Amino acid sequence: MNGVLNYYKPSGITSHDAVNIVRKIMNTKKVGHIGTLDPMACGVLPMLVGNATRISEYLIEHDKEYIAELTLGLRTDTYDKEGKPIAQSDVTVTSEQIVDVFKQFEGQIKQIPPMFSSKKINGKKLYELARMGKEIDRKPNIVDIKKLNIMNIIDNKKIIFRVKCSKGTYIRSLCDDIGMKIGTFGYMSFLQRVQVSNFKIENSINDDLLKDLKQKDTKKDFLIPIDKAIDYMDSINVNEEYFKKLCNGNSIPIKQRQNFIPNTNLRVYSNHIFVGIGQINIENNNAILKMKKVLLGDN
């Protein structure tokens, strides 16, 4: 079985635990995931099954969308509800203050990765150092908050919001930074990922549903074919002769397309059968296509 499973991870398990669940249910060891979710978080965790693990690089860079809850008045060492309280504030804020501060976090912002994260510095994961009681300087990263919409404010204490952001954004850090900017403290008390690339929560599958399926072929029906999982890419169809040249590492000429951008990836089909991912470029003022990854038979 090869394809992408739009899996719904429940809260309380790690992303690695979720991979093991899918491995057992789908009866294959070849399973990976796109974008780690913390144990307390729930939501969309796309699973790459079989040879779909070979397309992870083409999906992991995409934007992600979340619904989160920020609780004001308390700061924790992990920036979420599972951490140890380290600071408290009784400062009261107004809804106007909250709305004003949220607006300041839209667009490109600098964000320092939390100590309790899997980011590596000098070969060490930050959470490993944090568990030893160590804190080191971390350089801020530029992340892009593309949408940040407040959904509800409860007693000027809890803020439920929806955010669309670039890869590498820590929603826990966003909550901590917003709390500080408002003039108090804050921590992330809920997180649900609602979309990764074109994988949406309304189309996701939980493990309870998968466990109820006995037939292998029925389980396969829940897998999104590899070429459909990357359908944000344009496509091109080549004849059998050209496909053989591509498979041998040769490039082939193609008609230059409107709005042509060098290094653009394409889904490549031969006789309308998906065969892999290619890249178009310019060579001697001519547009050419070269294969990057042959995936024939991987559907």
Q: Which residues are catalytic?
A: 38
The partner residues of 43 in beta bridges, in order of sequence, read: 9, 193
104: phi then psi, degrees, rounded to nearest 5: -75, -10
Q: Are 279 and 264 in contact (CB under 8 A)?
A: yes
Q: Are 185 and 88 in contact (CB under 8 A)?
A: yes
- Dist. CA 240–CA 129, nearest whole Å: 55
- Dist. CA 88–CA 256, nearest whole Å: 61
177: phi then psi, degrees, rounded to nearest 5: -65, -40
- Dist. CA 47–CA 14, nearest whole Å: 14
Please give the angle made by the CA atoms of 199, 202 and 205, to the nearest 5 degrees: 75
Say which residues have a Cβ less than 8 Å from residue 269's Cβ, sequence separation at least 6: 227, 235, 236, 237, 238, 275
Residue 21, helix vs strand vs coil: helix
